[in-house]
């Protein structure tokens, strides 16, 4: 699992501070998460192929998370994309994009599907044979979801030398990987555990931005391999959290601590801080396995 941060600053893009967008590579999927203005330029900069992105997940309709979406969609039209594209996001996102396409008398030469969310409880919103994605209801000034990406458990790992030693037909290998026991020609039953090892534990990634401190989410994201949690402010500005519905680095760390996550990644920094070190220090005082998102940074999870 590989996470590329395309932008991790809040509010207004600045010369060297891009607004929220990231790409999660998971089981051969390239999921684009949020799409602030300039995301398509960032994708090119970090050499991520537009065409590999088939699903986009938008947390909410504030500009710093979505103003780059129309440009990305339009450019894929100009680049003659044919593959379908799915946009998951709050109700209204379809109108947002289609109004702009219509006014520019443009259309997309590829099928464009919108999956609008209105639920206030977690649900599985995407699933295939390798991955599930759930929405994580968050607490912001506007309807907002985070997203939880989970690998499905892999097949069991076939101990190939053992299988050969028992002279097992290759045609049965798939059943063994699925956990089945095997009866040999001699009539002996081989338990699956003898032929296989546990697969690597499935990985998971939770994206939680933007949100006020919301301990409710802990049960859903318990034990995730990595959590991205917004940290717009440091504690010296915690008074702004109530009104703006954002979190401090310390609050993000508290969530990580309660959820016992493998790693906490901070982001969505307010532009008022000239350095990011304060965010890291503050969070690490509560949860040591914390890292800072930075534009262009890649996390191998």
Q: Which is nearer to its own copies, 96 or 283 (CB)?
A: 96
Catalytic residue among 34, 64, 210, 295: 64
Which residues fall within 8 angstroms of residue 153, CB to CB, at 6 or more apart? 199, 202
Q: Which is nearer to its own copies, 44 or 183 (CB)?
A: 44
Minimum CB–partner distance for residue 89 and its own copies (Å): 11
Tokens representing 270 are 């307010």
The end-to-end CA distance of the chain, in Å, is 5
Minimum CB–partner distance for residue 102 and its own copies (Å): 9
Chain-centre distance of CA 64, in angstroms? 17
The Cα 17–Cα 86 span in angstroms is 27
Tokens representing 258 are 């309660």
Looking only at the bridges linking them, the beta strands covering 124-127 and 131-137 are antiparallel
Minimum CB–partner distance for residue 71 and its own copies (Å): 4
Coil, strand or helix: which one is 130? coil
Tokens representing 136 are 């994580």
The Cα 80–Cα 47 span in angstroms is 18
Count CB-CB contacts under 10 A for residue 162: 15
Q: Which is nearer to its own copies, 35 or 224 (CB)?
A: 35
**Which residues bind to its own copies, rule: CB under 8 A?**
11-15, 37-38, 40-41, 44-45, 61-63, 66-68, 70-71, 74-75, 78-79, 92-93, 95-96, 99-100, 103-106, 141-142
Q: Which is nearer to its own copies, 61 or 226 (CB)?
A: 61
Minimum CB–partner distance for residue 63 and its own copies (Å): 5
Which residues fall within 8 angstroms of residue 62, CB to CB, at 6 or more apart? 142, 210
Query: Is 64 tagged catalytic?
Result: yes
Minimum CB–partner distance for residue 44 and its own copies (Å): 5
Q: Which is nearer to its own copies, 104 or 277 (CB)?
A: 104
Query: 111: exposed, middle or buried (C-beta count within 10 Å: 0-12, 13-18, 19+)?
Result: exposed
Residue with tokens 């209801």: 137
Minimum CB–partner distance for residue 210 and its own copies (Å): 12
Q: Which is nearer to its own copies, 77 or 202 (CB)?
A: 77
Tokens representing 214 are 């919301």
Count CB-CB contacts under 10 A for residue 226: 24
**Catalytic residue ranges:** 64
């Amino acid at each position: 699992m590989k996470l590329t941060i395309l932008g991790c600053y809040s509010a207004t893009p600045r010369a060297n501070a891009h607004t929220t967008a990231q790409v999660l590579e998971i089981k051969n999927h390239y999921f684009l998460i949020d799409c602030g203005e300039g995301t398509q330029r960032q994708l090119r900069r970090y050499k991520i192929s537009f065409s590999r992105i088939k699903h986009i997940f938008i947390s909410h309709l504030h500009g710093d998370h979505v103003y780059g979406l129309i440009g990305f969609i339009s450019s894929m039209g100009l680049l003659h994309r044919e593959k379908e594209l799915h946009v998951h996001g709050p109700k209204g996102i379809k109108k947002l994009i289609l109004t702009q396409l219509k006014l520019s008398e443009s259309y997309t030469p590829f099928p464009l599907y919108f999956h609008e969310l209105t639920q206030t409880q977690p649900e599985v919103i995407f699933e295939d044979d390798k991955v599930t994605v759930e929405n994580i209801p968050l607490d912001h000034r506007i309807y907002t979801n985070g997203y939880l990406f989970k690998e499905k458990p892999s097949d069991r790992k076939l101990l190939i030398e053992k299988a050969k030693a028992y002279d097992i037909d290759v045609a049965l290998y798939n059943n063994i990987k699925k956990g089945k026991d095997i009866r040999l020609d001699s009539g002996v039953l081989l338990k699956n555990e003898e032929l296989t090892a546990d697969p690597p534990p499935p990985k998971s990634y939770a994206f939680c931005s933007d949100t006020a401190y919301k301990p409710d989410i802990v049960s859903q994201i318990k034990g995730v391999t990595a959590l991205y949690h917004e940290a717009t402010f440091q504690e010296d500005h915690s008074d702004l959290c109530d009104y703006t519905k954002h979190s401090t680095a310390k609050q993000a760390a508290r969530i990580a601590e309660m959820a016992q996550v493998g790693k906490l990644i901070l982001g969505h920094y307010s532009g008022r801080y000239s350095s990011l070190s304060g965010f890291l220090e503050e969070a690490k005082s509560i949860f040591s396995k914390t890292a800072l998102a930075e534009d262009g940074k890649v996390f191998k999870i």
